[in-house]
Amino acid sequence: NAGVMQNPRHLVRRRGQEARLRCSPMKGHSHVYWYRQLPEEGLKFMVYLQKENIIDESGMPKERFSAEFPKEGPSILRIQQVVRGDSAAYFCASSPYNEQFFGPGTRLTVL
């Protein structure tokens, strides 16, 4: 059973561009969580999704950020018009209920 997969592993964007981060959960897991981690800091919850539904987006900035988990395909975290402050590691985790298994992360650098 493959683990949680994320791509790309590293993403470089210039200010104002769009960043699109993908997460494929473990087989059989219907819950996906996205977290942001700044250097030497903990994991901050952003959004919780189930297939085709956003359950809790209370940790996600209301502007420029969006997330989806379609019926088919990976979950996508989309950041529009990126700014330097968006530079961070973004992790997704998949879960059958409350145990969460993390992917390797996408490290976003905004120039």
* Secondary-structure breakdown of the chain: helix, strand, coil percentages, each rounded to the nearest 5: 5, 50, 45
Work out how close the CB of 58 gets to another protein at its nearest, in angstroms, rounded to a whole number. Answer: 4
25 contacts another protein (rule: CB under 8 A) = no
Which among 32, 78, 26, 27 is positioned nearest to 51, based on CA atoms? 32
- If one asks whether residue 52 binds another protein (CB under 8 A), the answer comes out as no
Among 42, 62, 63, 84, binds another protein (CB under 8 A): 42
Q: Which is nearer to another protein, 40 or 72 (CB)?
A: 40
Applying CB under 8 A, what is the total number of residues that bind another protein? 22
Q: Pull the structure tokens for residue 83.
A: 């700014």
> Judged by CB under 8 A, which of 55, 70, 78, 80 binds another protein?
55
Q: Token pair of 30, please?
A: 């219907």
Work out which of 39, 53, 58, 85 binds another protein, going by CB under 8 A: 58
Nearest to 88 by CA among 50, 43, 47, 37: 37
Q: Does 53 bind another protein (CB under 8 A)?
A: no
DSSP SS3 for 85: helix
